[in-house]
Amino acid sequence: MELEGKIALVTGAGGGIGQAVTEKLAAGGALIALADMSHDLAAELAQRIEGAGGCAVALAGNLTDAAYCDGLVGETVSALGGLDILVNNAGLMRRGAVTEASDEDFALSMAVNVEAPFRLARAAIPVMAERGGGAIVNTASCWGVYPGPNHLVYCTSKAAIAAMTRCLGRDHAHQNIRVNAVCPNEVNTPMLRTGFAIRGLDPDSAVAELNATVPLGRIAEPQDIADVVVFLASDQARYMCGALVEVNGGKPVF
Ligand SMILES: NC(=O)c1ccc[n+]([C@@H]2O[C@H](COP(=O)([O-])OP(=O)(O)OC[C@H]3O[C@@H](n4cnc5c(N)ncnc54)[C@H](O)[C@@H]3O)[C@@H](O)[C@H]2O)c1
């Protein structure tokens, strides 16, 4: 994948998909800045990567803090010497129809799922342009392309990041900066499992039921998504700009 020596910043690095992405990038020889709200998760992951002979630095903080978010690219450059790959992966899901959604549901979802990628792309693009190019991979969702039921705020935020991906892909291709998004359907991560637990369901049985609804026979594991994210971040995807890549095991949103 030609990742050796590339410098990457991954948000939500401590989450289900985030850990799979960072471990794959690290295995390919990339140097990684790990951004996550959880200081413990970011530090543990950095230790694990360093222990395996890789190079990682934990830059923990809350992406709703504009100063932290605006400073992350600069911190990455200071710690690792540049930036070639930005993976906007952090996200959260608030459930319910519009009549059940609070101001806080809307503000927080837009802050993490949309505003943070906006701030990070704005900071990253000049750095990448000066280095002759780079790649940004956003984590959108199938539910941002086709709205799933009763997730108004989440679907709206993921539609926004999908639109942002297309705009950025178009506007910055001339600087050799490729911007694409992965759009998963259901993935077996803490986000999905805690959602079942909140609704009083046993996550293992709920996942087993969900597996039966997917034509490939199972929902995605984080590695299924990470493989596509890392592909989009690599030179293997050198002619892809502004693409929304659905990774759904054959299951449409309905
Ligand atoms: N799991 C799914 O079914 C699924 C499907 C489609 C898209 N996605 C998207 O994939 C991405 C990763 O999700 P996941 O399933 O791995 O979830 P996850 O909950 O395991 O990980 C999300 C990570 O984002 C971090 N994060 C959340 N809010 C933050 C904040 N304010 N500041 C800093 N970090 C913050 C969390 O600490 C966590 O580590 C998200 O953008 C999500 O919307 C997930």
Can you give the CATH number for the domain in which 11 is found?
A: 3.40.50.720
Minimal-distance CA residue to ligand 1 atom 23: 12
Beta carbons of 19 and 92 less than 8 angstroms apart: no
Whether the pTM exceeds 0.85: the reply is: yes
User: Are 75 and 139 part of one and the same domain?
Assistant: yes
Mean pLDDT to the nearest integer, 124-143: 98
- On the CB side of 247, CA atoms within 13 Å amount to 25
- Do residues 118 and 197 share a domain? no
Model pLDDT for residues 73-111, shown as the tens digit of each residue: 999 999 999 999 999 999 999 999 999 999 999 999 999
Asked about 154 being catalytic, the answer comes back as: yes
Q: Are residues 155 and 57 in the same domain?
A: yes
Euclidean distance between CA atoms 181 and 159, whole angstroms: 11
Q: Has residue 25 been placed in a domain?
A: yes
Name residue, tokens 């790649």: 135
Domain identity same for 211 and 238? no
Domain identity same for 210 and 227: no
Please tell me the residue having the least CA distance from ligand 1 atom 25. 12
CA of 117 to the centre of ligand 1 (A): 13
CA of 31 to the centre of ligand 1 (A): 21
- Asked whether the beta carbons of 102 and 156 are under 8 A apart, the reply is no
Examine the domain organization and report whether 59 and 135 are in the same domain. Answer: yes
What token pair was written down for 184? 């998963």
Q: What is the pLDDT of residue 240?
A: 98
Whether the CB-CB separation of 91 and 16 falls below 8 Å is answered with no
Answer whether residue 254 shows pLDDT above 80.
no
Are 29 and 145 in a shared domain? yes
Q: How large is the average pLDDT for residues 177-185?
A: 98
Mean pLDDT, the chain, rounded, equals 97
Q: Could you list the residue range(s) of the whole structural domain that residue 49 is in?
A: 7-185+222-246
Q: Are residues 40 and 156 in the same domain?
A: yes
Give the pLDDT mean for 201-211.
96
Is residue 32 one of the residues assigned to a domain?
A: yes
Residue 1 lies in a domain: no
What mean pLDDT is predicted for residues 47-75?
Answer: 97
Inside any domain, residue 54: yes
pLDDT at 230 over 90: yes
Q: Is residue 134 part of a domain?
A: yes
- Do the domain assignments include residue 160? yes
Predicted pLDDT at 1: 61
On whether both 93 and 194 belong to a single domain, the answer is: no
Structural domain total, the chain: 2
Q: In terms of domains, do 242 and 209 share one?
A: no
Mutate to test the pocket of ligand 1, among 120, 191, 246 (most ligand atoms within 8 A of CB): 191
Same domain, 199 and 99: no
